Amino acid sequence: MDKTIDRTATANPGDVELTRKAAEDHVELVADRLRKMMPECGFGELGTCCVMCYMGPCRIDPFGQGTRAGVCGATPDVIVARNFLRSATGGASSHAGHARELAILLLEIAEGRAPGYRIREEGKLLSLAEKLGVPVDGRPVDAVAADVARKAFEDFGRQDGEPMNWIRARASRMEYEKWEKLGLLVSNPHNEIETAMHRTSMGNDADPLNLWVATLRMGMVDNFAGLMMATDLADVIFGIPTPKVVTANYSVLKEGEVNIACHGHNPILASKVAEWADRLEGEAKAAGAGRVNVVGICCIGNELVMRYGIPYAGHEAQTELFLVTGAIDAMVVDMQCILPSLPAIAKCYKTRFITTVPFVRHPEAIHVDFRPEAADERAQEIVRHAIAAYKERKAAGIRPRIPDVSSRLLTGISVESLVSVLSTVDAKDPLKPVIDAIAAGDILGAVGMVGCPNPKLRDGAMSEKMAEGLLRNNVLIVTTGCVNHILAQGGFLTSDATEKYAGPRLKKVLTAIGQAAGLGGPLPPVLHMGSCVDNSRIYDLLAALAGKLGVEVSQLPVAGSAPEFITEKAISIGSFFLAAGILVHLAPAPRVFGSPFAVSLLTEKLPGLNGGKVLVAATPDAAVSGILAHLREKRQALGLPQA
Ligand code: CUV
Ligand code: SF4
């Protein structure tokens, strides 16, 4: 292990402490492997490496050195467009899979085949049903639920070319018409995914523009067959998030308790593990532990904290470090963002690493075949694994080291809960105070900070510094995904943060709302709206604001930022926000710079077409000033004062 390099620059002292412990314990971390990988491949970074067929691999220097096209004749513009579309397809597939599992669960609940689950939000089910054209009057809830699930399956099987049910039901008229004009009304997510894979394989689509339109369409798949469907159905089954104040960071792990870390994405598994953790407290006590303590990592942490207030552990770049604490008895995962390095590290500390999904396995993991029909049995099995591990680990003399770092955060901001908070200010027209504040310039604009924690940018505290810069300039921030773990650990989701970071005009607005809502302090300047799939909540909020103003979403002074993105899911989410006509800031740089066509499309042509635009900026200062310039431009176009 290379000990000469200082890996201690991140803002979280817990990360520093555990990184040292990892070195002492001879555990290799993401940051170590990243360093060994340097320099990363320049062709890959530019997007001009192609492995689509076996005449290659081909790599093309965009600066005119060497060959100008792949063996097949594909130009850098074609290669970049194909590669990018495949990334967006990977992301959209993940989100569509997530949503489809929830649709299956809803049908199972309706038909009595998933006794461990129930419908918690009848009101949301009925309003969703009405939007989908499912009759509700006088019908039993289960019958309505079954039909709502069937509407989802209809989308996944549709061959008539008509727009998805979920788009027709959930897009506003104005946004729908915009997408209709642009040819972005997708019909069947699976067909779109199939066609994307087909057209990008060797010897098919060689028109860069056609390929980029397919990427925007993949963004539509991501939002409507993924994010929005998943959020709608998860709220129906697991509840609409409500505001609550909870604890985050390493200190959520408890010595003397059985610690279970849930990691992954879909609440189907983790909600059950959390339930059985409570119900098996007696067995934990018999094993000499206080209780079973469930904490949430990554996006499942977001799902669990938003709805149930379950302790909010940390983000993806900390998953290895959480194991290095030696305090976790079982890490239970479902899907997405599970580093393949984890099971070996778990072994070092006799932590049981449990996979649960048939297509997310690891040779060194324990596999529990989790299915909704047998959810209660399987969840008990998982919790008992953790209790057994607790005894074993105690006997083996494993000494945990839990960094004494903790922070508080306000979480649980759904559109519904935000509206109810704001209705304390204006009961008749809850969104009016926000719109007035934006119009007056007290809120300059809003930015959705979303996505992952990238070790390439973590040492520079990219997300924290960007948040600081935006807040000082009176920009309101909403967050989802792992960025929210970062910002929570940095103390940005508290009333104190409003005092500390918000510009004077933003502070005034947030203080007034906090007072009216009886929060005992200002509303935090960063609002936690959930997991990656909950980006649909951000979009719903924007659509509601735009609707009230009578403008398109693309005209609002807002932007999206994935300041440290890692996954293909961030690419597909970003593609949706581009389709919606919103500025998307990305760091690290997306792999498009090998294609002059792509650069001009994403930074010059698309803005003129629908407002969508990509901003690439890898330093906080450049990102903040680029975003501020954009917000000011949008304000000017609407005739709003510059503040
Ligand atoms: Ni979906 S995608 S790392 S933000 S969960 Fe965290 Fe969460 Fe993964 Fe990125
Ligand atoms: Fe090379 Fe063309 Fe094959 Fe890609 S598809 S590997 S560019 S020959």
Q: What letters, b where the CB count within 10 A reaches 16 and e where it falls short, cover 356-393?
A: bbeeeebeebbebebebeebbebbbbbbbbbbbbbeeb
Answer for the pair 401, 512: CB distance below 8 angstroms, yes or no.
Answer: no
pLDDT band, very low/low/confident/very high, at 6 (cuts 50, 70, 90): very low
Give the residue range(s) of CATH 1.20.1270.30 domains in the chain: 76-226
H or E element that contains 423: none
Mean pLDDT, residues 485-503: 98
Specify the ligand 2 atom closest to the Cα of 71: 8
76-226 CATH, one of 1.20.1270.30, 3.40.50.720, 1.25.40.10, 2.102.10.10: 1.20.1270.30
Q: Is the dihedral of CA 547, 551, 552, 553 positive or negative?
A: negative
Alpha-carbon dihedral 470, 473, 476, 477, rounded to 10 degrees: 10
Which residue from 263, 342, 566 has its CB within 8 A of the most atoms of ligand 1, so it is best to mutate?
Answer: 566
Res 444: pLDDT: 98
Which residue from 43, 202, 211 has its CB within 8 A of the most atoms of ligand 2, so it is best to mutate?
Answer: 202
Give the residue range(s) of CATH 3.40.50.2030 domains in the chain: 250-395, 415-637
Pocket of ligand 1 contains residue 569 by CB under 6 Å: yes
pTM of the model: 0.97
Is the pLDDT at 5 greater than 70, yes or no? no
Specify the ligand 2 atom closest to the Cα of 56: 6
Separation of 570 CA from ligand 1 center, angstroms?
A: 8
Answer for the pair 475, 438: CB distance below 8 angstroms, yes or no.
Answer: no
Res 385: pLDDT: 98
Whose alpha carbon is nearest atom 2 of ligand 2? 72
Alpha-carbon dihedral 3, 7, 8, 13, rounded to 10 degrees: -100
pLDDT band, very low/low/confident/very high, at 65 (cuts 50, 70, 90): confident
Note the Cα 460 to chain centre separation in Å. Answer: 21
Q: If you classify domain 415-637 with CATH, what class do you get?
A: alpha beta
Q: Cα(307)–Cα(84) distance, rounded to whole angstroms?
A: 34
Pocket of ligand 1 contains residue 567 by CB under 6 Å: yes
Res 473: pLDDT: 98
Mean pLDDT, residues 612-624: 98
Res 66: pLDDT: 85
Beta-bridge mates of residue 530? 480
Question: Residue 30 CA: which ligand is closest?
Answer: 1
Res 61: pLDDT: 87
* Model pLDDT for residues 126-163, shown as the tens digit of each residue: 999 999 999 999 999 999 999 999 999 999 999 999 99
Answer for the pair 31, 334: CB distance below 8 angstroms, yes or no.
Answer: no
Separation of 333 CA from ligand 1 center, angstroms?
A: 13
* Model pLDDT for residues 541-593, shown as the tens digit of each residue: 999 999 999 999 999 999 999 999 999 999 999 999 999 999 999 999 999 99
Specify the ligand 1 atom closest to the Cα of 533: 1
* Model pLDDT for residues 281-312, shown as the tens digit of each residue: 999 999 999 999 999 999 999 999 999 999 99
Q: Looking at domain 250-395, which CATH architecture does it have?
A: 3-Layer(aba) Sandwich (3.40)
Q: Cα(356)–Cα(362) distance, rounded to whole angstroms?
A: 10
Question: Residue 86 CA: which ligand is closest?
Answer: 2
Question: Residue 73 CA: which ligand is closest?
Answer: 2
Cα radius of gyration (the chain): 24
Pocket of ligand 1 contains residue 81 by CB under 6 Å: no
Answer for the pair 580, 171: CB distance below 8 angstroms, yes or no.
Answer: no
Res 10: pLDDT: 57
Pocket of ligand 1 contains residue 335 by CB under 6 Å: no
How would you classify the pairing of strands 49-50 and 58-59? antiparallel
Percentage of the chain beyond pLDDT 90 is 97
Res 2: pLDDT: 35
Using DSSP, state whether 140 is helix, strand or coil: coil
* Model pLDDT for residues 510-524, shown as the tens digit of each residue: 999 999 999 999 999
Question: Residue 201 CA: which ligand is closest?
Answer: 2
Mean pLDDT, residues 379-393: 98
Res 64: pLDDT: 78
Res 3: pLDDT: 34
Is the pLDDT at 1 greater than 80, yes or no? no
Specify the ligand 1 atom closest to the Cα of 566: 9
Is the pLDDT at 7 greater than 80, yes or no? no
* Model pLDDT for residues 200-216, shown as the tens digit of each residue: 999 999 999 999 999 99
Answer for the pair 375, 272: CB distance below 8 angstroms, yes or no.
Answer: yes
Separation of 119 CA from ligand 1 center, angstroms?
A: 27
463: tokens are 């997300």
Question: Residue 564 CA: which ligand is closest?
Answer: 1
Which residue from 298, 333, 566 has its CB within 8 A of the most atoms of ligand 1, so it is best to mutate?
Answer: 298
Pocket of ligand 1 contains residue 263 by CB under 6 Å: no
